[in-house]
Chain A
């Protein structure tokens, strides 16, 4: 395991206190949201699908902390249930992006020649297509289920990882220890997997956190346009989509789901920045 990841996963109180305040806050927030998402069905006073027709369009109160929507559904319960969807899409799509991007970047950087050239042209092409509009078209055509949405968001986001991993692999391939391994007759695959990839893990970890934030934002944008997660399932984006029409009369329907997106993505980005700083310090 790489050092930056280790500095986060350790449970020793000394290491915890050594982390910057913002990073500790981000970890606590993310843990709380993840826990709430897991426990959502039991936590919220009323289930996310349950309708209370006597309390429709109710403003936030002690009974309904985040208010209720036009069907009398508890907004807090729906935000928590949306967390399951948004977090799942964010994390799983990031896994896919990073796996694809690392593979493309590592192969391109290590093999070089026409393979590298054509992989990089493909990366350029994918980066030049406006990501959100393109995904909106794909989603409108396919009307994806949540697993398919994960694949779409993941496939749309590998290019940044591919570029940074390729650059890193290119510079590592010139280094003495790789040349030494080549001279002693170690095969290409083993050099890549055993010698180069372990040294790129820090870069990949940073790229992965950035991808999680981007994935959550992309999913919410797609759902905001009505082509992502379909109702009655709740996602933070489609709650905002529905809230748009009643913005003036029931603003709480828009405020809380958006807040959830913002706080989650911000926490993820704080972690990413910390990883980049720690990783960068070690490479020098």
Chain B
């Protein structure tokens, strides 16, 4: 087990290095580089830009700059936001709770929807229920999330007035009920696509298990149908399903960019779109590194938990 962890870590770290080189090169190859936003500003004199360049170390060669950035990144010195001069780590840290809250709510919502629906659709393959689920989940995958978000806003906030259209809480409110009312729409939008993907995955996983011999033999021994589906089959289909859920949890950071923008949710995604508009390179770089790291770490966790829980791959 320990050697497996060590081996996977040894693979994950170079991956992060490759990503950081790619992203760093991209941001610094841009015309004007990290200071592009100042070049467009007529109030900033050329000599000011030169001074900024020197103080930020941008006059050095790219490899040297990269190494300096890497050294800082490893020890937690992620530089300062170009937009407001505060440390990047502080700006990210204050946004993380809102994003985690949204992602967690969406995860739970999508999981709770996908689990029973996927199992039932497989248990009643080709029934009306199954065909409806297949159609609806295909629709779910095809939805442009930002449009879906706008539609929900139109319906539930503008027309019906049941729910707030944006933000994480009212200015005066902020009690639990108020927070809940604010999170329903964005969490639904973020959860929908994942619920659709997971339902389809669980359904086909269950179908594969249900076609196996031991299920037939369980039927033959007179085990009740309910027990065959929920105990024998589900136990075998659950592990790959949970793996997919873990892997997708990391991708949700990326999906949060869209959802948070539509609903003005004050999380990492919102910070990203703000930083993009202001060409705030240190923040953008940190965002990409954090979200890539999340993907790689959760990949690792999924892989190792699979190894740990399934004796067949442990050997």
User: Which A residues fall within an 8 A CB radius of B?
Assistant: 22, 121-122, 124-125, 127-134, 136-138, 140-141, 213, 217, 220-221, 224-225, 227, 240, 243-244, 247-248, 251, 254-255, 257-258, 261-262, 265-266, 268-270, 273
Contact = CB atoms under 8 A, between A and B. Distances in A.
B299 A125 contact: no
B139 A254 contact: no
B19 A133 contact: no
B253 interface: yes
B78 interface: no
Contacts of B106: none
B228 to A, nearest CB: 24
The secondary structure that dominates the A interface is: helix
B146 A224 contact: yes
B292 to A, nearest CB: 5
Interface centre among B18, B147, B299 (most CB of A within 10 A): B147
B26 A247 contact: no
Chain B facing A: main interface SS? helix
A266 B139 contact: yes
B291 A258 contact: no
B196 to A, nearest CB: 11
B142 A265 contact: yes
B261 interface: yes
Contacts of B223: none
Contact of A269 (B138, B287, B288): B138
B279 interface: yes
A140 B276 contact: yes
Contacts of B14: 121
B284 A137 contact: yes
Interface string B123-158: 000000000000100110111111110110110001
**Count class of interface residues, chain B:** 35 or more
B251 interface: yes
Contacts of A213: 141-142
Nearest to A137: B284
B279 A125 contact: no
Given A121-B15, A128-B19, A270-B138, A133 B287 contact: yes
Contacts of A255: 151, 154
Contacts of B147: 240, 254, 257-258, 261-262
Given A141-B27, A240-B150, A265-B144, 5 more contacts: A121-B11, A132-B257, A134-B23, A137-B26, A213-B141
Interface string B273-297: 1001001000010011001100110
Contact of A128 (B27, B284, B299): B299
Given A130-B288, A132-B257, A255-B151, A125 B144 contact: no
B254 interface: yes
Nearest to A236: B144
Given A130-B291, A136-B276, A240-B146, A273 B138 contact: yes
B291 A133 contact: yes
A249 B253 CA distance: 31
Nearest to B297: A128
B286 to A, nearest CB: 12
B150 A247 contact: yes
Nearest to A138: B26
14 contacts: A22-B135, A128-B19, A128-B295, A128-B296, A140-B276, A141-B30, A240-B147, A244-B150, A254-B147, A254-B154, A257-B147, A258-B144, A262-B142, A270-B138
B22 interface: yes
Contacts of A131: 254
Contacts of B153: 247
A134 B15 contact: no
B27 A137 contact: yes
A140 B27 CA distance: 11
Contacts of A266: 138-139, 142
Nearest to A143: B31
Contacts of B191: none
A128 B292 contact: yes
A137 B253 contact: no
A125 B258 contact: no
B272 interface: yes
A262 B143 contact: yes
